[in-house]
């Protein structure tokens, strides 16, 4: 991954196109797929949207891990629907990336080859049922804090995908909170399960906002382009301030002895984040890195013959449709009746 | 579809106004059909995160949710849904053996879906139109028939794609329909409380299958689907070996915390 070169190094003087682009961004107009955009802007968006899409589909795993063991039918239905939503988010985001000229298959290949990343949070395991609640409350909560500003991102298709995603994410966050509330007010064992999950997920959730501002590789340029609206540290602080009162209502504690209200700052102070752990997990040494990517690859490889069959069948249908004196192709399009659910990825 | 429906604010284990409960044969019918839906829903949900394409993660989860919704409605006609799902022993489940069969490869799953969803659509249509069936089951059938038509369509389209796709997919699909065939004999065994013309329903089912399989360049398996070496007995609570593992996984957490609310 490369960082964008500063604007002044790209060309001797800004071209007409660049001036128009900069003016549109400055005027808070949306950049659309057919608009001219700097190569580095395109590359940054592809990197970010791909990472986001990959996070959605890898993120299905730790939660799907509990679908078959959900302790009530109501919770089971909520969980299946949630994981299904994540697959749907993956679909919108890969589509948004496609508007920038990269295909889903290309991006998946890069994910499988370890050349593109997904959010490190999903390299932590879901060990008990309460982890499903902690992911909803904390991980989805952090994701929303990150993502709400993306609804105003300068790139139109990404911004619009995020509007829909944020609505569903906030729903997931409330469900996670409600799951933990039931546990916290349940039996002693349930309460302990909830507290243990929060203890394990709190710090990794804070790491989701990325490295501190002075160490963030992509932040400055992304903010100038209005892809990003707030710094990592700002968003992290916002998240901590939101979570503290919610933890109190849940009857659970956050595992940070340094967490306290700072009257002067008007924010909560919190303890030092273990950035060594963050960089270890990022490097692939987290508890589940290998497992997550292996499962992803296996699903993809095991499904190759299915996708090939769908493509071969589509070709056969098209051929039949164009056999003379066949009807015009549009009439007998092989489009499945219930797109997108029935459609396979054609390569 | 149940995918986006908001959960009630408070845990809804029991409804405040006690709904009218079915008894006797009517309750048995609700339980049998509910068990079919619950167990197939469970198997389909196992695909989540493992499907051959993202669209299929969405579709299979969607069908799983629809079936879970049917199971919950049917169980609520008999008793507490969670007690029925999580506290019954293997021999007290009345689902047919077809729905508990392990997923196998995608073609096995599609074959199971084809046999079941075509039969379920035919059954719900018949129940919805039969004044002799218990009213609450008829009401459920009238609603469920719409989503079941989508499930059938999904299985149907995939049968065409796999049967008439590549050599490999055709081989796998043929194997899938053969392996699952021996579990289809139970699909039209009369259900107490539902006075339907089962042989006529089965004839409809066979006609539909012959149509789709022919279009998919496949044929109905020739082996027997009942008696002899074939499977059966699910309705009497006799299941296959894998079913015990399914229940162990599904029930473990709930049973580990007796009396807890989730």
Q: What does the pLDDT look like over A67-96, one tens digit per residue?
A: 999 999 999 999 999 999 999 999 999 999
Residue A221 confidence class, pLDDT cut points 50, 70, 90: confident
Asked if the Cβ–Cβ distance from B55 to A341 is below 8 Å, we say yes
Asked if the Cβ–Cβ distance from B168 to A69 is below 8 Å, we say no
Scanning A76-95 for CB atoms below 8 A from B yields 76-78, 80-81, 83-85, 87-88, 90-91, 94
Task: Give the nearest partner residue to B169 out of A70, A189, A305, using CB atoms.
Answer: A305
Is the pLDDT at A329 greater than 50, yes or no?
no
Is the pLDDT at B224 greater than 60, yes or no?
yes
Task: Give the nearest partner residue to B164 out of A69, A171, A313, using CB atoms.
Answer: A313
Strand partners, A267: A262
Query: Taking the mean position of all CA atoms in its chain, how far away is CA A73?
Result: 27
C-alpha distance from residue A66 to each of A75, A216, B46, B67, B85 (Å): 10, 34, 10, 18, 16
Is the pLDDT at B149 greater than 70, yes or no?
yes
Q: Of the given ranges (A19-28, B30-39, B96-105), which has the lowest mean pLDDT? A: A19-28
Asked if the Cβ–Cβ distance from A345 to B158 is below 8 Å, we say no
* Angle at CA of residue A109, ends A104 and A113, nearest 5°: 150
Q: A62: nearest CA in chain B?
A: B49
B59 vs A contacts (CB less than 8 Å): 338, 341-342
pTM: 0.90
Residue B243 confidence class, pLDDT cut points 50, 70, 90: very high
Task: Give the nearest partner residue to B55 out of A190, A295, A340, using CB atoms.
Answer: A340
Task: Give the nearest partner residue to B62 out of A76, A84, A304, using CB atoms.
Answer: A84
C-alpha distance from residue A297 to each of A109, A303, B172 (Å): 9, 10, 21
Task: Give the nearest partner residue to A341 out of B58, B81, B252, using CB atoms.
Answer: B58
B164 vs A contacts (CB less than 8 Å): 313, 316
Strand partners, A262: A267
| Percent of chain B clearing pLDDT 90 (strictly above) | 87
C-alpha distance from residue A290 to each of A131, A146, A284, A294 (Å): 20, 26, 7, 6
| Percent of chain B clearing pLDDT 70 (strictly above) | 90
A183 vs B contacts (CB less than 8 Å): 262
B102-129 pLDDT, tens digit per residue, is 999 999 999 999 999 999 999 999 999 9
| Percent of chain A clearing pLDDT 90 (strictly above) | 81
Residue A141: cis peptide before it, omega within 30 degrees of 0: no
Scanning A44-63 for CB atoms below 8 A from B yields 57, 60-61
- Chain B touched by A188 (CB under 8 Å): no
B106 vs A contacts (CB less than 8 Å): 303, 306
Asked if the Cβ–Cβ distance from B11 to A182 is below 8 Å, we say yes
Task: Give the nearest partner residue to B250 out of A68, A171, A343, using CB atoms.
Answer: A68
Task: Give the nearest partner residue to A316 out of B52, B157, B164, using CB atoms.
Answer: B164
Q: Output the average pLDDT for chain A.
A: 90
A59 vs B contacts (CB less than 8 Å): none
Give the residue with greater pLDDT, A16 vs A344: A16
Q: Residue B168: CB partners within 8 Å, gap ≥ 6?
A: A305, A308, A309
Asked if the Cβ–Cβ distance from B61 to A90 is below 8 Å, we say no
- Chain B touched by A5 (CB under 8 Å): no
Asked if the Cβ–Cβ distance from B86 to A71 is below 8 Å, we say yes
Q: B160: nearest CA in chain A?
A: A313
Count, in order, helices (H) and strands (E) of chain B.
9, 0
Nearest-neighbour CA in chain B from A300: distance (Å): 6
Task: Give the nearest partner residue to A186 out of B166, B169, B260, using CB atoms.
Answer: B260
Contact A209, A232 (CB under 8 A): yes
Determine which of B40, B41, B53, B105 to mutate to test the interface with A (most A C-beta atoms within 10 Å).
Answer: B53
Asked if the Cβ–Cβ distance from A71 to B53 is below 8 Å, we say no
Residue A220 confidence class, pLDDT cut points 50, 70, 90: confident
Furthest CA-CA distance within chain B: 57
CB pairs < 8 Å spanning A and B: 187
* Locus of tokens 């078959």: A68
Q: What is the dotted CATH code of the domain comprising B24-255?
A: 1.20.1260.10
In whole angstroms, give the CA distance from residue A220 to residue A198: 32
């Amino acid at each position: 991954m490369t960082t964008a070169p500063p604007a002044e190094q790209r060309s001797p003087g800004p071209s007409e196109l660049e001036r128009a682009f900069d003016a549109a961004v400055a005027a808070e107009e949306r950049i659309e797929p057919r608009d001219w955009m700097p190569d580095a802007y395109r590359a940054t968006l592809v990197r970010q949207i791909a990472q986001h899409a990959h996070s959605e589909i890898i993120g299905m795993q730790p939660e799907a891990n509990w679908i078959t063991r959900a302790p009530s039918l109501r919770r089971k239905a909520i969980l299946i629907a949630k994981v299904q939503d994540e697959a749907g988010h993956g679909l919108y985001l890969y589509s948004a990336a496609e508007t920038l000229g990269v295909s889903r298959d290309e991006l998946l290949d890069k994910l499988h080859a370890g050349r593109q990343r997904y959010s490190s949070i999903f390299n932590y395991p879901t060990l008990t049922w309460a982890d499903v609640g902690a992911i909803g409350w904390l991980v989805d909560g952090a994701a929303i804090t990150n993502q709400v500003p993306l609804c105003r991102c300068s790139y139109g298709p990404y911004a619009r995908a995020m509007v829909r995603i944020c609505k569903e994410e906030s729903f997931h966050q409330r469900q996670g909170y409600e799951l933990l509330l039931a546990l916290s007010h349940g039996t002693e064992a349930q309460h302990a399960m909830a507290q243990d999950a929060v203890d394990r997920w709190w710090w990794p959730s804070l790491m989701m906002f990325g490295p501190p501002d002075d160490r963030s590789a992509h932040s400055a340029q992304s903010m100038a382009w209005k892809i990003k609206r707030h710094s990592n540290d700002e968003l992290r602080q916002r998240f901590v301030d939101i979570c503290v009162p919610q933890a109190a209502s849940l009857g659970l504690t956050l595992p940070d002895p340094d967490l306290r209200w700072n009257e002067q700052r008007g924010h909560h102070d919190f303890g030092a984040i273990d950035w060594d752990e963050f960089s270890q997990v990022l490097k692939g040494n987290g508890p589940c890195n290998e497992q997550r990517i292996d499962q992803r690859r296996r699903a993809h490889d095991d499904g190759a013959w299915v996708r090939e069959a769908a493509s071969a069948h589509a070709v056969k249908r098209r051929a039949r449709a164009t056999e003379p004196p066949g009807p015009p192709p549009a009439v007998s399009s092989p489009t499945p009746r219930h797109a997108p659910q029935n459609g396979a990825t054609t390569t | 579809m149940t995918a986006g429906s908001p959960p009630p604010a408070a845990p809804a284990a029991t409804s405040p106004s006690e709904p009218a409960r079915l008894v006797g044969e009517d309750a048995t019918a609700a339980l049998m059909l509910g068990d079919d839906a619950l167990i197939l829903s469970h198997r389909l949900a196992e695909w989540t995160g493992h499907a051959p394409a993202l669209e299929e993660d969405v579709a299979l989860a969607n069908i799983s949710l629809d079936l879970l919704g049917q199971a919950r409605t049917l169980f609520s006609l008999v008793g507490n849904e969670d007690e029925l799902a999580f506290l019954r022993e293997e021999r007290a489940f009345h689902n047919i053996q077809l729905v508990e069969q392990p997923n196998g490869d995608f073609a096995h799953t599609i074959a199971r879906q084809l046999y079941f969803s075509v039969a379920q659509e035919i059954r719900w249509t018949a129940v919805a139109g039969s004044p002799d069936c218990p009213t609450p089951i008829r009401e459920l059938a009238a609603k469920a028939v719409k989503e079941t038509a989508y499930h059938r369509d999904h299985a149907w389209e995939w049968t065409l794609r796999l049967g008439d796709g590549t050599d490999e997919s055709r081989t796998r699909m043929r194997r899938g329909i053969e392996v699952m065939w021996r579990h289809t004999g139970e699909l039209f065994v009369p259900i107490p409380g539902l006075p339907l013309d089962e042989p006529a329903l089965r004839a409809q089912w066979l006609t539909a299958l012959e149509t789709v399989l022919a279009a998919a360049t496949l044929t109905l398996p020739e082996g027997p689907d009942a008696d002899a070496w074939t499977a059966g007995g699910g309705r009497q609570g006799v299941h296959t070996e894998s079913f015990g593992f399914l229940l162990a996984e599904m029930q473990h957490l709930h049973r580990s915390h007796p009396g807890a609310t989730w």
